[in-house]
Structure 1
């Protein structure tokens, strides 16, 4: 009995993780026969989980929305509150939190009844559009793209470039990534036959999505590193500094969210980084809290001297401090 209950939870997690599953795939993941999968699906249906059978050659099972909210240990008000909170977190631009919120939101919206979805949408303007313009991304756009990434479905969208020009794109979406205060989509551009990085706030997707595709292998395998490298090359000001910390350190991993880290030896690494101006770069480097040497950064020394003089003036005007507490 305990083994069956554990298997039901694993089956439910699989159905929530992807849109469509064949009976054979589920059987392979669970280590059982397809007949056992059919029996477990019936048990989930008895618990009011809306598991639909998809007919055809590529048929299988799909967890869809039901007439009422399946047992998630949430009542209606709690489900609405959770969806609204996840929408706000998804649009916040906060690293890691935003991406996790999108994954959770996709799972919740997949089974949210229409009557509750209307209540969530009713408060969308105040819940989604309150972040700063740099991070204002429509939650529906995130949801559409996130679902397409999860279900391996092509997406066609209008894209506004940095110069204001609009183009129509057809892509195979790979992953959503937050970098700084913005969301980016890593995708294979079907018309250009190459990997591309798109700012999500410049995307206007066309629905419905589809057809499905076989995922490609991203060069390097790390979507976050791919975005950092792509965005870093777009900055007007480019620089290289040597950080006094190994490439495997936590500080270097943090620096990799701003640019590309290159190992040098066991005590240092090179950071290839970009910014709008040398002044902006001084603040990025200061936030890393590690010593560094300028390798190739025209104009950076001038701004470092300027900010050092400001700090020294601030220190000279500070009242004397008492002895530090133990």
Structure 2
């Protein structure tokens, strides 16, 4: 989400939550600085409706109240938007601390550290009992953060991608479903619009900027197994088969170790 929009939504949420009576659109427009820049009433109404829908999608309960003169007011009652107290036992808190350590060298390090500080401030029992464990999932690829945001917000993206056997990258238009790290590399699974099918992309082969291109058009599957797809494309999921080969005597020892049978052919050759 762009910083300007995030700030506008935050200000709107604060206005709706810090009032004891319904607030009209006219009052909200006068109170929130970002709305001052919108000169057209029609443009403001569209922006306000989008912002209100975005807040509701994020989980804020907004009540719409009709006044005596037929005008509408809005408010977010505190009793309907209060989260329950967080109750974690020491083992659960330690598991969260271990998860936060994963991102210490990635772009989510600040968010992970901030989450633990908020838990401590809320009085959650926290003791770092995982000092012997130092998990690391690096995310050095420039495309990681943009794809993570697009995956969470369900936005299609466009980027240039170079396949393993290609000389130059090609443009791809993808609806990103899931990101997963496997064997030290990040992969993206999603719906390739141009090919009309599921595709998996290795982030290190994405070049240039990742650009947002609208909302999803295809339903996201309930289960997305990125590793299984990558392994299948790498040939690791191939069905086992038996082959018959000939090797010179006293050579090819790794192959001989896997042979089912070994039969001498002549003085120079064996058949495996």
Task: Tell me which protein shows more helix as a share of its residues.
Answer: 1
TM normalised by structure 2 equals 0.43
Q: Larger Rg: 1 or 2?
A: 2
TM-score when scaled to structure 1?
Answer: 0.37
